[in-house]
Each structure stands twice: as C-alpha cells, then as structure tokens.
Amino acid sequence: MTVVPPFQTGLEAPAIAALLPHGPRIPVVAGARASFGHRRAVPVTLVRPSPALLALHAACVDALEAAGAVIADQRHIRTGYRPHASDQRSAALAPGDHASLTELALVERAPGSRRRVAARIPLA
C-alpha cells in the first residue's frame, strides 16, 4: 500500500527509516477499484481513508520534507492523498477486504532498475 509517493533524498535508507513513525498497526478496508498512472495503466484498489491512516501519511510526509526529501508530485500528498494498494502479480485487494498495515517498507526505485525494499519499519 502506498503511504507516500516517490521521493528523492540524499539520505541512506537507515537514516530515512529512523525518520519515519513507529506507531501502531493500522486496520484498513479496501474500497473501489481504480487505475492510476498517466495512462491509467496501473490497476489499484483504493483504501478507505481513516484518521489513523491519514495521520500516518501526514507524519511520514512531514518527517521526510523536514529532512530535505523532495516529493516530486505534490498533488498526491496531504489533501490530495488517495490511499491505495497497487495490484501485485500474486494478489490484489478486493473491495471490502480487511487488512492491517503492520510495517512501512522503504522501496528504492532507481531509473531503469527493479524496485528493492531498502528498509522495513515495523508498526507495533
């Protein structure tokens, strides 16, 4: 599930992980299906926003920006944040599914390369 859109920073993964909140697990409920991306080619399931999820998003964005990270697409943060889970090859959330966020994963995505989980931050 995307909590913060892609960002750039000169910090290494452990330093970024240290900035992010280590709060409680957050229950989520899947909402409607949608398509994201400039060509609407990325299938996603929207996640119903909850106060806890929105607070986690805001805390992550605030911490990253305070540390100098640049979130390229400002339209998709704070009031423009649309919580969602991108479909994966092996699974996708269906509308009405219940899940729980148990950790934050910091994913590196260098141009022309595969995504790599650089750090995991457990939620209590």
Q: Identify each DSSP E strand in the chain by its residue range.
A: 7-8, 26-36, 42-47, 70-71, 84-86, 98-101, 103-108, 116-122
Question: Which has more pLDDT, 38 or 20?
Answer: 20
Q: Domain extents for the chain?
A: 7-11+24-101
Q: What is the pLDDT of residue 37?
A: 86
Rounded Cα distance, 107 and 120, in Å: 9
pLDDT digits (tens, 9 = 90+) for 60-118: 999 999 999 999 889 999 999 999 999 998 999 999 999 999 999 999 887 777 888 99
* 28-63 core/surface letters (b: 16 or more CB in 10 A; e: else): bebbeeeebeeeeeeebbbbeeeeebeebbebbbeb
